[in-house]
Structure 1
Amino acid sequence: MSKVIIIGAGGVANVVAKKCAQNDSVFTEVLIATRTVRKADAIVAEIHEHLPNSQTKFSTTTVDADNVPELVKVIREFGPEMVINVALPYQDLTIMDACLETGVHYLDTANYEPKDVAKFEYSWQWAYRERFEKAGLMALLGCGFDPGATQVFTAYHAKHHFKEIHYLDIVDCNNGDHGKAFATNFNPEINIREITANGRYWENGQWVETAPLEISQDIYYPKVATRKSFVLYHEELESLVINFPTIKRARFWMTFGEAYIKHLNVLEGIGMTSIEPIDFKGQQIAPIEFLKAVLPAPESLAANYTGQTCIGVQAKGLGKDGEDKVHFVYNVSDHAETYKEVQAQGVSYTTGVPAMIGAMLMLTGVWKRAGVYNVEEFDPDPFITAMNEWGLPVDELAGIELVK
């Protein structure tokens, strides 16, 4: 019996809202707050159409998530127990500030990054630990799939399979086809900034930096395909190597097709991926913001999307029996099936469902303590159980090394 605010109205917010509506015994009242209220209204209309028996009460409002006083006003007027932040990563800190001022719990799916610097790390949000502890509030960071479920998988490895994890590889494959020449599966600005940045991985107690997409290998994704995969830097590595100090090497891999990389190289070559503002007809605009405006919105890809996603975590190390071990925990989702269920493509679905699950565990007291936390700091079992219940079945593969 809880009231929550969802901030944002993109593809992930759409999934979070609809999964909250399915889980109406926990989420009794939901306010969707966003800069563009017509998008929130469209989500609510779809809920009424596709989930007419849900008892969850929905409403919408306008909010500027960059504006703390405006956020505080909306939160105080609605009186939620927590805020689910699925807005832009640039807005994490203002929303955390508003939660502290109003005394409500906080959850997001991506860590903070400054708008004018292509850099993301947890230090800005970890700096809030003492303030949330003193306020008796909880902030759960990065509770999507990657980050999010991938850290749960790592904690599950540690709890059930390993005395020590030595080598960790997180793999993310989208083997889908949306029929567009070039499009991104989530916010284009965030997606392109992430891919064009230098890669980074952890090895022997330090970070090793690479050129963008410099390291690759063919990886077999169970039930899906063998795909060329590239090393990127991804935020969950930062917390995992702290919380699992026996890790000697940790890497994150993602698949990209040749056509995608070719388009990206051309766009980068002509300066369209730059975050540096230029003067255009008397106005300042970053080329990447203009590019975002002309590319298809990620949520618009859903209706015609086919194929599957496969995201998992391979761990190698010392098993519970004292022997060397390799184990893989993963999920496979189908774009057409996720569209049938919640009118969303699989990338939005795999991010939105874990956000709902994390919020549910917080609201029901299963995961609940004051402070700022990453998901691997909690018992993974209730989260795994909920994934199986709420549309993200978890599979395991023992003894086969998929990533070299």
Structure 2
Amino acid sequence: MSTVLVIGAGGVSSVCVHKMAMNADIFGDIHLASRTKSKCDNIAASVKERTGQDVATYEIDAEEVPAMVNLIRKVGPSLVVNLALPYQDLPIMDACLEAGVDYLDTANYEPKDEAKFEYKWQWAYHDRFKDAGLMALLGSGFDPGVTSVFTMWLKKHKLKSIRQLDILDCNGGDHGQAFATNFNPEINIREVTAPARHWENGEFVETPAMGKKVEFDFEAVGPKNIYMMYHEELESLAKFNPEMERARFWMTFGDEYIKHLTVLQNVGMTRIDPVKYQGKEIIPLQFLAAVLPKPESLGETTKGNTNIGVIATGEALDGSGEKTFYINNICSHEAAYEETGNQAVSYTTGVPAMIGSAMMVTGKWTGDGVFNMEEMDPDPFMDMLNDHGLPWQVKELDGPVGF
């Protein structure tokens, strides 16, 4: 059994900590810290009620490296699980290096003053972690995370090489709100309003945000509009699958979401540069995030399913020519809430965070340095998905996607 320290107390953290407590044979001692200790206490109380397991809680500013180092040394974990904001990745990695402990996160670092999603800042830590004999695992959520593992499982078991890849993220849930985001509003809106980028013929091609829309019929959801956008796993997938001719990421958005977001953009509420108001500087997007419904508050009212997966086309492993496979997971918002008190968007990220942590603390995934999910053996991770609430299915399609 291992000791783990989880940083952050949003919906993803809540799911991850609940699932860790449900696997006490792996995670024997769970510690939870965030800027707001009361949020940690609420999660700990829910975990105690649902599982009987105790979770120790702390208040911490994850951007204060000395304070983080002191907390890590006090707790003595074998792994720090970073489920805080992406802005905090680098200081938490610095603290892990100083304290001598392994690191895991679900989303790559991005600077506060620019919506730029790149791994370069964290990949630059590779030698430091390697020299320290420590492991850092990046992007152990669903996308990035499970979608990367799905891709590498197909490459291990079905395809010799991948020519085209499309990641399809569908949230078919309805939370009953006029406008709300299903994960951190600030991160969500920064992602959606950034220019779209996709990999094609050895380089990234940039197009206007939300500029390409097609319809796709999702099992257990129905027909939905999907929009091409940029997501960080495209960068790592392109790096570790250099033979790919094209890779794209698609996400569903309803008409009401698009309408509200367009208005908010037009009036300047999605800006990430400071503006002066009554003698104080505020970031409009941060203010908007403060007044929107909290994602963790949407669990009880959200109904429906998510359907997230990848469609890959390439040379078949058995030598039978080019084939196309679709591998995906369907997750019920209602079932996720019943089990953990959180909706499926948090669930589909929090469960892979737990599984990635289990891979590290049990020694199934090892290494010195900074690693992406594509570099690890997909099989044990895939097995745990089936056993811990995110079962997957794979089927052969008639041919490549036609859009």
Both proteins in one fold, TM over 0.5: yes
Q: Corresponding residue for 1:392?
A: 390
Change (3 A) 1:351 1:374: same
For 1:403 and 1:23, the matched residues in 2 are separated by 39
Equivalent residue for 1:352, pick from 350, 353, 357: 350
One-letter code aligned to 1:74? L
Determine the structure 2 residue equivalent to 1:46: 46
Q: Select which of 262, 265, 275 maps to 2:262.
A: 265
* Aligned counterpart, 2:86: 89
1:365: Cα distance to partner?
A: 0.3
Report the AA paired with residue 376 of structure 1: E
Q: What amino acid is the match of 2:7?
A: I
Aligned to 1:335: 333
CA shift for structure 1 position 401:
4.5
State the superposition RMSD in angstroms: 0.9
What does 1:222-301 align with in structure 2 at a 5 Å threshold? Answer: 222-301=219-298
Shift of 1:321: 2.5
Indicate if the aligned counterparts of 1:219 and 1:402 stay in contact, CA closer than 8 A: no
2:142 aligned partner? 145
3-state SS, counterpart of residue 116 of structure 1: coil
Tell me the alpha carbon deviations over residues 190-211 of structure 1, each in whole angstroms, 9 at most, x when there is no partner: 0000000100000011111110
In structure 2, how many angstroms separate the alpha carbons of the residues matched to 1:397 and 1:183?
Answer: 33
Deviations 1:274-312 (A, max 9, x none): 001111122111000110010000000000110000000
Return the alpha-carbon distance in structure 1 between the equivalents of residues 335 and 239 of structure 2. 37
Contact 2:324 2:400 in 1 (8 A): no
Deviations 1:157-206 (A, max 9, x none): 10001111000000000000000000000000000000001000000111
Secondary structure, counterpart of 2:9 in structure 1: coil
The answer to whether the 8 A contact 1:132-1:372 is kept is yes
CA distance in 1, matches of 2:106, 2:303: 25
- Aligned-pair distance for 1:316? 0.3
Deviation at 1:58, TM superposition (A): 1.3
Q: Which residue of 1 aligns with 2:2?
A: 2
Deviation per CA, 1:3-47, whole angstroms, max 9, x where unpaired? Answer: 000000000000010000000001011110100000000000011
Q: CA deviation at 1:48?
A: 1.2
CA distance in 1, matches of 2:183, 2:144: 14
Structure 2 residue 191 is the aligned partner of structure 1 residue 194: yes
Provide the secondary structure at the position in 2 that maps to 1:302: coil
Aligned twin of 1:23? 23
Match of 2:154, SS? helix
Q: Do residues 135 (structure 1) and 139 (structure 2) align? A: no
Structure 1: state its 5+ residue gaps.
none
Q: How far does residue 351 in structure 1 lie from its aligned partner after superposition?
A: 0.2
Q: Separation in 1 of the partners of 2:7 and 2:270?
A: 26
> 1:221 Cα shift?
1.8
SS at match of 2:390: coil
1:73 maps onto 2:84 in alignment: no
Residue ranges of structure 2 left out of the alignment (5+ in a row): none
**Contact 2:113-2:273 at 8 Å conserved across structures:** yes
1:220 to partner: Cα distance: 2.1
Give the aligned length. 401
Task: Map residues 87-236 of structure 1 onto 2, 5 A cutoff.
Answer: 87-236=84-233
Structure-1 separation of matches of 2:9 and 2:153: 32
Work out the CA distance in 1 between the residues paired with 2:130 and 2:94: 14
* Aligned residues of 2:313 and 2:400 also touching (Cα < 8 A): no
C-alpha distance in structure 1 between counterparts of 2:330 and 2:170, whole Å: 9
3-state SS of 1:28 partner: strand
| Structure 2 SS opposite 1:361 | helix
User: 1:220, 1:402 within 8 Å by CA — same for their partners in 2?
Assistant: no
Query: Structure 1 pair 227/284, CA: closer, same or farther in 2 (3 Å)?
Result: same
CA distance in 2, matches of 1:38, 1:180: 25
- The percent of aligned pairs where both chains have the same amino acid is 54
Q: Among 370, 375, 393, which residue is 2:373 paired with?
A: 375
Asked whether the equivalents of residues 219 and 403 of structure 1 are also in contact (C-alpha less than 8 Å), the reply is no
Question: In 1, distance between residues paired with 2:301 and 2:212?
Answer: 32
* CA offset digits 1:329-374 (Å, max 9, x no partner): 1000000000000000000000000000000010000001111000
1:321, 1:362 → 2: CA distance?
Answer: 32
- TM-score, with normalisation over the residues of structure 2? 0.98
Which residue of the partner structure matches residue 33 of structure 2?
33
Q: Which ranges of 4 or more aligned residues in structure 1 deviate by more than 4 Å? A: none
Alpha-carbon distance in structure 1 between the residues aligned to 2:400 and 2:221: 13
Provide the secondary structure at the position in 1 that maps to 2:163: strand
User: How far off is 1:226 after superposition?
Assistant: 1.8
- Deviation string 1:47-90 (CA, Å, 9 cap, x unpaired) is 111112x4xx4100000011101100110111100100000000
| Secondary structure, counterpart of 1:251 in structure 2 | strand
